[in-house]
Amino acid sequence: MKKLLKFGAYIFLAAALLTSCKSKESSSTTGWAYNDKKWGGFEKQDYEGQISGPNLVLIEGGTFTMGQTQDDVMYEWNNVPRRVTVSSFYMDETEISNLDYREYVYWLERVFRESYPEVVQDALPDTLVWLEELAYNDPFVQTYFRFPSYDNYPVVGVNWVQANQYAQWRTDRVNEMLLIQRGILNPNPDQKDESNFATDAYLAGQYEANVRRNLKDYRTGEERNVRFEDGILLPDYRLPTEAEWEYAALALRGNQSADQDELYTDRRNYPWNGNSVRYQVRDKNQGAILANFKKGKGDYMGIAGKLNDNAHIPSEVRSFLPNDFGLYNMAGNVAEWVLDIYRPLTSMTLRDADNHDLNPYRGNGYKRVVTDQDGVPVEKDSLGHLRYRHLTQDELVSRENIRRGEVYNFQDGDPESEVTYDTTHTLITDKSRVYKGGSWADRAYWLSPGARRFKNEDEADRTIGFRCAMTRLGSPTGNEIPSGNAFKTKSKRTDRRFK
C-alpha cells in the first residue's frame, strides 16, 4: 500500500511539473514567460479552435459566380452574375422550427412577462398570415405554431426584425451554456428583467453572475471573469448575408473536379445538379421530388396515393435530401430572410467595385458601445444589454475606408453616388430586406439560389422563415489544417463540436 501511495505521489508530482512547464511557455520574440505573474502575467491560451455551435455546419468558403443561373423571366435584372469570394462561416443545418422559436418565446415570458409584457408580445409570430379571403386556412392560425404536430416544421410569420432578435437571444443562451459547461457559472433559471445573462454585459462586467469558479488571473494571482479573447465564448449568431446564403445553397463543392483542382465541373440552377426538380439517379428513388414547392396551378402536393412532395404547406425541417454542405431545404419549404438591404442595382454596382468582391453585403451600420467620459460603458439597458450608437461623421472624418456610420445607400442613391436612385417613387426603402429560396407556395423558378426578392423588415409572411449563421474565426478549413498551410500535413487537431 505504501508503495502504491508513493508511486501515486510521484505521478502527481510529475503531472504538476508538466503543468508548470506548460504554464512557463515563453515568447519566441522577447523570451518573457507566458502565464506567469513574475513576468507580468501576459496570457497565452492553449486554444484548440472555434467549436461548431448547436445545429451549425461549417461552410468552407471560396470563390463562386454569384447571381442568376437561368433566364430572368421576371425581367428585373437584379442579380447580374459576378465573381465573388465568401469567407468560411457556419450556418444552421435546418430552418428554425416552431419548437425552437417557442423555446425563445417561453424564455421571454419567464424573464420579462411581469415587467415588460410588450417584449413577449413583440416576439410572437404573426399567425394571421394564414388567413385568406377565399380560402379556409383558418385552423392554421391556432395550430401551426403551437400544436405539437408542427413542432419540427419551420416557423413562419416572423419578420426580419424578429429574426434578428432571436439570433441575439440565441447568442446569449449558447454562451451562457458554454460557461455553465466549463464550470464557470451555475445554472440560474431565476433571472429576471435586466439581471438576465447577456454576452456583451457579462464581458463588460455588468452581469452579476452566479459564479461557480472563475478563471485564474495571472496578472494578480486571483480570479477573473471570462474574456472574449479566452476563446470560450462564441461570436454572435446572426442572419446570413445574401452572398453567404447563396453560396451555401449552391454547395458547389459537390462539383469539384476529381483531382481536387481549383475547378468546378458544372454550375447549378438548384442546390443539386441538373435542370430537373426530380431525383435523376437510377435507383428506387428515381423521379422523387427534391423540394417542397408548388408544381403548378392548384397543385401543392400531388394526388392521393401518390403525393409528390408529401406537403401541402411547409414540411419538417429535415425533409428531403440535404445539399453537398449538409444543409436541408435550401430550396423550397420556406423562403428565408437574409441580412442584406434590397437594392435592384446592388449586383451591378458590386460587379465593378473591386473592394466588394470579398464578402459582398449591403446594410452596414457601424456602431460602438455608448461610454462615459472615461471610456467605460454606461449602465446596460432595462433588458440587460449594453447601449450602442452609430459612429458619427466627425469620428470618421480622418478615415479612408469608411466615412459614415450608416451606408445603406452607398453608391445607390446617396448624394455621392454615380447612380441616381429615387426612393420616393418606389416601394423600395431602407426597410426593404432580401429573402431567398423558393417556398412551398412558389413555382420552381424561385428555387434557384440566385433568385432574389424583397419585403419590408417589419412584415411577415406564411411562406418566409429563417436560419442563422455565424462568422468563422481562424483557419477557413476548420481546426484540422492551419490557415495558409497549402501542404497536406497531419494534424492532431479536429473540428470541435458543441456538446
Supply the pLDDT for residue 134.
Answer: 96
pLDDT tens readout for residues 160-217: 999 999 999 999 999 999 999 999 999 999 999 999 999 999 999 999 989 999 999 9
Give the Cα separation of 437 and 453 in Å (integer).
9
**Residue 481 pLDDT level (bands cut at 50, 70, 90):** confident
Give the Cα separation of 41 and 373 in Å (integer).
29
Give the Cα separation of 188 and 202 in Å (integer).
14
pLDDT tens readout for residues 243-284: 999 999 999 987 777 666 776 766 788 999 888 888 777 676
pTM, 2 dp: 0.89
Assign 167 to helix, strand or coil.
Answer: helix
**Residue 71 pLDDT level (bands cut at 50, 70, 90):** low
Long-range contacts of 203-209 (CB under 8 A, 24+ apart): 203/227, 203/228, 203/233, 204/369, 204/377, 204/380, 204/386, 206/377, 206/379, 206/380, 206/386, 207/384, 209/179, 209/185
pLDDT tens readout for residues 27-70: 999 999 999 999 999 999 999 899 999 999 999 999 999 987 77
Residue that wins the pLDDT comparison between 110 and 15? 110
Supply the pLDDT for residue 17.
Answer: 41
Supply the pLDDT for residue 260.
Answer: 65
Give the Cα separation of 204 and 42 in Å (integer).
20
Give the Cα separation of 127 and 125 in Å (integer).
6
Give the Cα separation of 453 and 338 in Å (integer).
11
Give the Cα separation of 205 and 116 in Å (integer).
24
Rounded to the nearest integer, the mean pLDDT of the chain is 87
Supply the pLDDT for residue 423.
Answer: 53
Compute and round to an integer the Cα radius of gyration of the chain: 26
Asked whether residue 471 carries a pLDDT value surpassing 50, the answer given is yes
DSSP string for 248-261:
HHH-GGGGB-TT--
Q: Lowest-pLDDT range, 108-122, 236-250, 350-364, 425-439?
A: 350-364
Q: At what angle do helices 160-181 and 98-112 cross, to 10 degrees?
A: 80
* 3-state percent breakdown (helix, strand, coil) of the chain, nearest 5: 25, 15, 60
| 79 within 8 A of 67, measured Cβ to Cβ | yes
Supply the pLDDT for residue 287.
Answer: 74
Give the Cα separation of 426 and 95 in Å (integer).
31
pLDDT tens readout for residues 283-317: 767 778 899 999 999 999 999 998 989 999 999 99
* Residues 423-454 as b or e (16 or more Cβ within 10 Å = b): eeeeebeebbbbbbbbbbbbebebbbbbbbbb
Rounded to 5°, the CA angle 479-467-93 comes to 50
Asked whether residue 92 carries a pLDDT value surpassing 80, the answer given is yes
Task: Spell out the domain ranges in the chain.
Answer: 21-268+354-433+453-471
